[in-house]
A and B are shown apart, each in its own frame.
Chain A
Amino acid sequence: MAYLFNTPDDIQSMLETIGADSIETFFEQVPRHLQLDQPLDLPPGLSEPELEAHLRQLAAVNHGTSSRVCLMGAGVYDHFIPAAVDEIASRGEFYTAYTPYQAEASQGSLQAFFEFQTLICQLTGMDVSNASLYEGGTALSEAVFMAMRITGRHNRVLVLGSLHPEYQQVLETYLRNFDCQLDVIATPDGVADVDIVSQALDSETCCLVIQQPNVFGAIENLESLCQAAHEVGALAITSFDPISLGLLKSPAACGTDIAVAEGQSLGIPAQYGGPYLGILTCRQKHVRQMPGRLIGQTVDRNGRRCFVLNLQAREQHIRREKATSNICTNQGLLAVRATIYLALLGRQGLLDVAQLCCQKAHYAADRLGELPGLELMFQQPFFKEFTLKCQGDATEWIDRAAAAGFDLGPDLARFPRLRESLGDDADQTLLVAVTEQRTREEIDRLVQSFASVSTHSDTPQSLGKPA
């Protein structure tokens, strides 16, 4: 894509075209009291070497996953990213954030998104995937809106207490100005009790929102939960972990109507708040209620294969307030990364990654659970992540591990929405996620660092914070 200059000459010529003789005259239309009548309060400019040194200094304060051992969970994970992902995704042709507005002019991008949709459908077993949304939380909220439109039920959403609390928070924000009740079913056992969920579902409920594996890492009885939703005519929405599908039964096979995900695990580095990748898939019969961009394959007038945007008539630039969503773009660059990642791994590769995660996570859980002062919070099957209950304050254990070079967590006390499920244990619980990147040696060292503490004292509360 061409770089667009903004030289003084360009500015002058634009000003002349619109009949303003200076930037100041141009801004006169802004009321006087709203104009800043002094220069911006910024430090003086830096030379290039000074700037580079300054940025290097700032960057050195960060601790990335390459310099430390990351066992952090709750939605973002330290999976391996093959070098080819960066190499291909950083090609100039792909290096743009969105579908261009003249979408069909970018056949290469559209083809990549079409491949993305195909791979995501193969992964989930669902009929249709869109070309991606911003991230997991908004994808989930869009799925709930879809369910409202499909069922015609706009007044009640049922959510499991084992849903990621930040996804729930995003959903609450989306629903704030609607006359819609959001009910949460607490999950004190770490997974939902299907009978309790069944009792809570009624003919007003538009959907049941499930996360698989859930925020505690535990595996829900997805099939029964979907069935319970269907019994009252509600849709089942599942937020899944893409990597887990190397081992777990697919959302489609379990009866999910709309499956969504945070796609960060698919070749996207862990970074402050994103950018990440929203995945949204559904059944064919619901495709017309699906938000976002949908790429289709067709032939041009010469019979050659080409790619187009489908169902555009439902997007906001045409259908205004009745559009399926006010998001009508996709997370293009990151969808390309996920496409490359999945294509590189293939079916067997994904299965291998999932198996490694699962085996290593179970090894870590066994070893950590044996330590005095630590135990597994829930006796439930899990995939790559589990909840530890600590003697004393969980944050002290996290700090202790951090001092030894291991990042665990987060502690679950930081999520007020989880208190209903965790009760008084909330302050004592933390998440541990183990990806294929972790080695037995790393896990043993972590256990060792805790064990050496335990032998010195039986009361972790008395431990000082690491310097």
Chain B
Amino acid sequence: MDSSTLRYARSHEWLQLDGTTATIGITDFAVAALTDLVYVELPELGRSLAAGEIFGEVESVKAVSDLYAPVAGEVIEINTGLPDDLDALGEDPFGRGWLIKLAVTDASAADALFDEAAYRDHCQSAGH
């Protein structure tokens, strides 16, 4: 996946919109900050999420971080193989490491998220 076509949340999730379906993952920056990943917990299919709602968590040897929905929507697909293949998330966070797909409530909500340049600035300025 081309990271320049994605939208980004302040909390380091990325989102790719295809019509009203959004694929969601976490960024390479987030993966690098977490270090060795040991566990990921994803939501149930059919769960409806508000923007900013916690939908799961990712755990490394150093920390446990919550996963936040960048936009509102209903969970229609889960990367079910991911919990048993965390290398996919570590090695390819924008591709094989995707987390969930949402049927988004309002596709225009994605416009409020960062584009790649703004997200990279955010990573820098946040003093990360």
Q: Which residues of A contact B (CB under 8 A)?
A: 288, 313-314, 318-319, 322
The residue on A at minimum CB distance from B64 is: A313
Chain A residues lying within 8 Å of B60, measured Cβ to Cβ, are 313
The residue on B at minimum CB distance from A313 is: B64
CA distance A313 to B61 in the complex (A): 7
Chain A residues lying within 8 Å of B41, measured Cβ to Cβ, are 288
CA distance A288 to B56 in the complex (A): 13
CA distance A314 to B64 in the complex (A): 7
18 pairs, CB–CB < 8 Å, chain A vs chain B: A288-B39, A288-B41, A288-B59, A313-B59, A313-B60, A313-B61, A313-B62, A313-B63, A313-B64, A314-B59, A314-B64, A318-B62, A318-B63, A318-B64, A319-B63, A319-B64, A322-B64, A322-B66
Contact with A along B32-53 (1 / 0, CB 8 A): 0000000101000000000000
Interface of A is mostly: helix
The residue on B at minimum CB distance from A319 is: B64
Chain A residues lying within 8 Å of B63, measured Cβ to Cβ, are 313, 318-319
The interface size bin for chain B is: under 10
Q: Which residues of B contact A (CB under 8 A)?
A: 39, 41, 59-64, 66
Known: A288-B39, A313-B62, A319-B63. 15 other contacts (CB 8 A): A288-B41, A288-B59, A313-B59, A313-B60, A313-B61, A313-B63, A313-B64, A314-B59, A314-B64, A318-B62, A318-B63, A318-B64, A319-B64, A322-B64, A322-B66
Total A-B residue contacts, Cβ distance less than 8 Å = 18
Q: What is the minimal beta-carbon distance from A103 to any residue of chain B, in angstroms?
A: 15
The residue on B at minimum CB distance from A324 is: B64
Q: What is the minimal beta-carbon distance from A126 to any residue of chain B, in angstroms?
A: 20
Chain B residues lying within 8 Å of A318, measured Cβ to Cβ, are 62-64
CA distance A313 to B64 in the complex (A): 6
Chain A residues lying within 8 Å of B61, measured Cβ to Cβ, are 313
Q: What is the minimal beta-carbon distance from B44 to any residue of chain A, in angstroms?
A: 10
CA distance A227 to B41 in the complex (A): 26
Chain B residues lying within 8 Å of A313, measured Cβ to Cβ, are 59-64
CA distance A314 to B58 in the complex (A): 11
Chain A residues lying within 8 Å of B39, measured Cβ to Cβ, are 288
CA distance A318 to B35 in the complex (A): 15
Chain A residues lying within 8 Å of B62, measured Cβ to Cβ, are 313, 318
Q: What is the minimal beta-carbon distance from B75 to any residue of chain A, in angstroms?
A: 14
Q: What is the minimal beta-carbon distance from A53 to any residue of chain B, in angstroms?
A: 56
CA distance A319 to B57 in the complex (A): 12
The residue on B at minimum CB distance from A287 is: B39
Chain A residues lying within 8 Å of B66, measured Cβ to Cβ, are 322
Chain A residues lying within 8 Å of B64, measured Cβ to Cβ, are 313-314, 318-319, 322
Chain B residues lying within 8 Å of A322, measured Cβ to Cβ, are 64, 66
Ranked nearest first, the 8 interchain pairs of A and B with the lowest CB-CB distance are A313-B64, A313-B63, A319-B64, A314-B64, A313-B59, A318-B63, A313-B62, A288-B39
